[in-house]
Structure 1
């Protein structure tokens, strides 16, 4: 049941047989930060792309070969993993940076500055 909840409704958001990637998102005044759980994944095998206002992550974890030690019980997920998220308005995806540490991929994308306070608009006459 937990696996079904984690993967969502089949076919609704992604291709069948593709596992979802768990994420955290944070938006500050100047950045959008996405953290993705990718334990056991080589960061060189992660594809990150921005198309329009959509950030997409893709990777794959292959099962161990027959010559490697196998366990009698495994709850690990193997196969393709993907996640697509809509970026905040104005996010500058072409300036994104990505860091991988301890099984967590952190993507940071700058946002345009938002001006706060009062703006006075002069009235022209004449």
Structure 2
């Protein structure tokens, strides 16, 4: 299940997975790492932020973390007001973090990715 979580006014998409132990009971997965708002802030404060220019739905994510991009490369397709909008790299760099996934609803100004 996917959820949108708001931390300090910023929205993040998170995915929660149910894990069964085989006897019908559900267990929480212990291999996930708890991320504090401080850790999120550290990631967000560094690098070049690629933000949503308007509210809408992410139709496609065209990059992965670690991928090199050039200025003008299309990183995301955002559907807003029944139109597809290309979100492009503002400059050359490497994708450090992708903060949204396909199908996510975003608000204007939400950070979609961080480039280094």
The TM tier, using the shorter chain, reads under 0.3
Structure with higher strand content: 2
Per the normalisation by structure 1, the TM-score is: 0.23
Of the two, which has the highest radius of gyration? Answer: 1
Per the normalisation by structure 2, the TM-score is: 0.25
